[in-house]
Structure 1
Amino acid sequence: MCNFIVPASVKRGDLHITVSTNGKSPMLSKKIKEDLEETFGEEYIEYINALGDLRKLVLEEIDDIKIRKKVFQKFIYNDLLNQYKRGEIEDIKKALNELYNKVIQEF
Protein backbone atom coordinates (compact mmCIF):
# COMPACT_ATOMS: atom_id res chain seq x y z
CA MET A 1 0.00 0.00 0.00
CA CYS A 2 1.19 3.50 -0.82
CA ASN A 3 -0.15 7.02 -0.59
CA PHE A 4 0.80 8.36 -4.01
CA ILE A 5 -0.71 7.93 -7.46
CA VAL A 6 1.25 7.48 -10.67
CA PRO A 7 -0.85 8.14 -13.77
CA ALA A 8 -0.48 5.94 -16.83
CA SER A 9 0.89 7.86 -19.79
CA VAL A 10 1.44 7.49 -23.51
CA LYS A 11 4.08 9.56 -25.23
CA ARG A 12 4.39 9.95 -28.99
CA GLY A 13 6.99 12.62 -29.56
CA ASP A 14 5.38 15.87 -28.43
CA LEU A 15 2.00 14.20 -27.84
CA HIS A 16 1.52 13.30 -24.17
CA ILE A 17 -1.66 11.58 -23.00
CA THR A 18 -2.08 10.85 -19.31
CA VAL A 19 -4.74 8.70 -17.65
CA SER A 20 -5.59 8.46 -13.99
CA THR A 21 -8.39 6.96 -11.94
CA ASN A 22 -7.05 8.75 -8.85
CA GLY A 23 -5.93 5.39 -7.46
CA LYS A 24 -9.37 3.77 -7.66
CA SER A 25 -8.42 1.34 -10.43
CA PRO A 26 -4.80 1.24 -11.58
CA MET A 27 -5.66 -1.75 -13.76
CA LEU A 28 -8.28 0.31 -15.62
CA SER A 29 -5.69 3.06 -16.15
CA LYS A 30 -3.35 0.43 -17.58
CA LYS A 31 -6.07 -0.89 -19.90
CA ILE A 32 -6.93 2.60 -21.13
CA LYS A 33 -3.22 3.28 -21.69
CA GLU A 34 -2.94 0.13 -23.80
CA ASP A 35 -5.97 1.20 -25.85
CA LEU A 36 -4.47 4.65 -26.35
CA GLU A 37 -1.15 3.15 -27.46
CA GLU A 38 -2.99 1.29 -30.21
CA THR A 39 -5.03 4.33 -31.25
CA PHE A 40 -2.14 6.79 -31.14
CA GLY A 41 0.70 4.95 -32.85
CA GLU A 42 4.20 6.03 -33.77
CA GLU A 43 2.86 7.83 -36.87
CA TYR A 44 1.72 10.63 -34.57
CA ILE A 45 5.34 11.63 -33.99
CA GLU A 46 5.87 12.58 -37.64
CA TYR A 47 2.34 13.97 -37.98
CA ILE A 48 2.72 16.35 -35.03
CA ASN A 49 6.16 17.47 -36.17
CA ALA A 50 4.74 18.27 -39.62
CA LEU A 51 1.82 20.13 -38.06
CA GLY A 52 4.26 22.15 -35.93
CA ASP A 53 6.26 23.16 -39.00
CA LEU A 54 3.12 24.18 -40.85
CA ARG A 55 1.82 26.13 -37.87
CA LYS A 56 4.95 28.28 -37.95
CA LEU A 57 4.44 28.86 -41.68
CA VAL A 58 0.79 29.79 -41.24
CA LEU A 59 1.60 32.23 -38.44
CA GLU A 60 4.24 33.90 -40.63
CA GLU A 61 2.18 34.05 -43.83
CA ILE A 62 -1.41 34.65 -42.72
CA ASP A 63 -2.28 37.69 -40.64
CA ASP A 64 -6.06 37.20 -40.48
CA ILE A 65 -6.92 35.13 -37.40
CA LYS A 66 -10.20 33.86 -38.88
CA ILE A 67 -8.40 32.54 -41.95
CA ARG A 68 -5.72 30.96 -39.77
CA LYS A 69 -8.40 29.12 -37.83
CA LYS A 70 -9.95 27.80 -41.04
CA VAL A 71 -6.54 26.66 -42.28
CA PHE A 72 -5.77 24.89 -39.01
CA GLN A 73 -9.18 23.19 -39.14
CA LYS A 74 -8.38 21.89 -42.63
CA PHE A 75 -5.13 20.41 -41.28
CA ILE A 76 -6.88 18.51 -38.51
CA TYR A 77 -10.33 17.68 -39.89
CA ASN A 78 -9.34 15.68 -42.94
CA ASP A 79 -8.47 12.07 -43.69
CA LEU A 80 -4.72 12.49 -44.26
CA LEU A 81 -3.64 10.84 -41.02
CA ASN A 82 -5.88 7.84 -41.63
CA GLN A 83 -4.57 7.57 -45.18
CA TYR A 84 -1.03 7.72 -43.80
CA LYS A 85 -1.81 5.01 -41.24
CA ARG A 86 -3.23 2.80 -44.01
CA GLY A 87 -0.10 3.29 -46.11
CA GLU A 88 -1.89 5.29 -48.80
CA ILE A 89 0.34 8.29 -48.14
CA GLU A 90 4.08 7.78 -47.88
CA ASP A 91 5.13 11.26 -46.69
CA ILE A 92 2.71 12.97 -44.30
CA LYS A 93 4.71 16.21 -44.29
CA LYS A 94 4.53 16.44 -48.07
CA ALA A 95 0.79 15.65 -48.01
CA LEU A 96 0.14 18.38 -45.43
CA ASN A 97 2.19 20.89 -47.42
CA GLU A 98 0.16 20.06 -50.53
CA LEU A 99 -3.03 20.54 -48.52
CA TYR A 100 -1.72 23.89 -47.27
CA ASN A 101 -0.99 25.08 -50.81
CA LYS A 102 -4.49 24.02 -51.88
CA VAL A 103 -6.16 25.66 -48.88
CA ILE A 104 -4.44 29.03 -49.21
CA GLN A 105 -5.67 29.25 -52.79
CA GLU A 106 -9.22 29.23 -51.40
CA PHE A 107 -8.56 32.51 -49.58
Structure 2
Amino acid sequence: MKGKSIRKSAWSTYWKLHDQRKRLVERLKGYLDGLPPKTRRRTVLAMLAAFAALALYTFGKAVYDIGRNDGSRMVTDHAGQVELSLKPEVSDNFTPYYNNMYGTDEE
Protein backbone atom coordinates (compact mmCIF):
# COMPACT_ATOMS: atom_id res chain seq x y z
CA MET A 1 0.00 0.00 0.00
CA LYS A 2 2.91 2.33 0.63
CA GLY A 3 3.89 2.25 -3.07
CA LYS A 4 0.42 3.36 -4.13
CA SER A 5 0.42 6.33 -1.76
CA ILE A 6 3.84 7.45 -3.00
CA ARG A 7 2.70 7.08 -6.60
CA LYS A 8 -0.51 8.98 -5.87
CA SER A 9 1.34 11.84 -4.17
CA ALA A 10 3.86 11.99 -7.03
CA TRP A 11 1.08 12.27 -9.60
CA SER A 12 -0.66 14.87 -7.45
CA THR A 13 2.52 16.94 -7.32
CA TYR A 14 3.00 16.54 -11.07
CA TRP A 15 -0.50 17.79 -11.87
CA LYS A 16 -0.17 20.73 -9.45
CA LEU A 17 3.05 21.79 -11.19
CA HIS A 18 1.45 21.22 -14.60
CA ASP A 19 -1.53 23.42 -13.72
CA GLN A 20 0.73 26.11 -12.26
CA ARG A 21 2.80 26.11 -15.44
CA LYS A 22 -0.34 26.44 -17.58
CA ARG A 23 -1.52 29.41 -15.49
CA LEU A 24 1.88 31.09 -15.78
CA VAL A 25 1.96 30.59 -19.57
CA GLU A 26 -1.56 32.03 -19.90
CA ARG A 27 -0.61 35.09 -17.83
CA LEU A 28 2.54 35.63 -19.87
CA LYS A 29 0.64 35.27 -23.16
CA GLY A 30 -1.96 37.75 -21.93
CA TYR A 31 0.74 40.25 -21.00
CA LEU A 32 2.59 39.83 -24.31
CA ASP A 33 -0.63 40.07 -26.35
CA GLY A 34 -1.30 43.40 -24.65
CA LEU A 35 1.99 44.92 -25.84
CA PRO A 36 1.88 47.37 -28.74
CA PRO A 37 3.29 46.04 -32.05
CA LYS A 38 6.18 48.51 -31.95
CA THR A 39 7.28 47.24 -28.52
CA ARG A 40 6.96 43.62 -29.69
CA ARG A 41 9.14 44.34 -32.71
CA ARG A 42 11.78 46.01 -30.56
CA THR A 43 11.79 43.11 -28.12
CA VAL A 44 12.19 40.54 -30.89
CA LEU A 45 14.95 42.55 -32.57
CA ALA A 46 16.81 42.95 -29.26
CA MET A 47 16.62 39.19 -28.64
CA LEU A 48 17.80 38.51 -32.20
CA ALA A 49 20.71 40.94 -31.80
CA ALA A 50 21.76 39.31 -28.51
CA PHE A 51 21.61 35.86 -30.11
CA ALA A 52 23.58 36.98 -33.17
CA ALA A 53 26.26 38.62 -31.01
CA LEU A 54 26.67 35.50 -28.87
CA ALA A 55 26.71 33.23 -31.93
CA LEU A 56 29.37 35.34 -33.65
CA TYR A 57 31.45 35.48 -30.47
CA THR A 58 31.26 31.69 -30.07
CA PHE A 59 32.19 31.12 -33.71
CA GLY A 60 35.04 33.65 -33.58
CA LYS A 61 36.43 32.17 -30.37
CA ALA A 62 36.30 28.66 -31.83
CA VAL A 63 38.12 29.75 -34.99
CA TYR A 64 40.69 31.66 -32.94
CA ASP A 65 41.35 28.66 -30.71
CA ILE A 66 41.83 26.18 -33.56
CA GLY A 67 45.28 24.71 -33.33
CA ARG A 68 46.10 26.30 -29.97
CA ASN A 69 47.12 23.63 -27.48
CA ASP A 70 49.41 25.77 -25.31
CA GLY A 71 52.40 24.74 -27.42
CA SER A 72 51.83 21.00 -26.94
CA ARG A 73 51.27 18.73 -29.88
CA MET A 74 48.78 15.92 -30.05
CA VAL A 75 50.44 12.53 -29.69
CA THR A 76 49.62 10.16 -32.54
CA ASP A 77 50.70 6.58 -31.91
CA HIS A 78 49.79 3.30 -33.49
CA ALA A 79 46.41 2.11 -32.29
CA GLY A 80 47.71 -1.37 -31.57
CA GLN A 81 45.89 -4.58 -32.27
CA VAL A 82 42.14 -4.28 -32.48
CA GLU A 83 40.22 -7.00 -30.69
CA LEU A 84 37.37 -8.39 -32.76
CA SER A 85 34.36 -10.03 -31.20
CA LEU A 86 34.18 -13.79 -31.52
CA LYS A 87 31.21 -15.71 -32.80
CA PRO A 88 29.33 -16.91 -29.70
CA GLU A 89 28.43 -20.48 -28.95
CA VAL A 90 25.13 -21.71 -30.41
CA SER A 91 22.20 -21.10 -28.09
CA ASP A 92 18.44 -20.59 -28.35
CA ASN A 93 18.70 -17.12 -26.75
CA PHE A 94 20.10 -15.29 -29.79
CA THR A 95 17.96 -13.09 -31.98
CA PRO A 96 17.80 -13.84 -35.72
CA TYR A 97 19.75 -10.63 -36.44
CA TYR A 98 22.55 -11.70 -34.13
CA ASN A 99 22.69 -15.15 -35.68
CA ASN A 100 22.96 -13.70 -39.20
CA MET A 101 25.36 -10.96 -38.22
CA TYR A 102 28.47 -13.05 -38.86
CA GLY A 103 27.24 -14.81 -41.98
CA THR A 104 27.16 -18.56 -42.41
CA ASP A 105 29.92 -21.10 -41.94
CA GLU A 106 29.50 -22.43 -45.48
CA GLU A 107 31.07 -19.33 -47.08
Q: TM-score range by the shorter chain?
A: under 0.3
Q: Higher strand fraction: Structure 1 or Structure 2?
A: 1
Taking structure 2 as the reference length, what is the TM-score of the superposition? 0.25
User: Whose relative contact order is higher, 1 or 2, with alpha carbons under 8 Å and at least 6 apart?
Assistant: 1
Taking structure 1 as the reference length, what is the TM-score of the superposition? 0.25
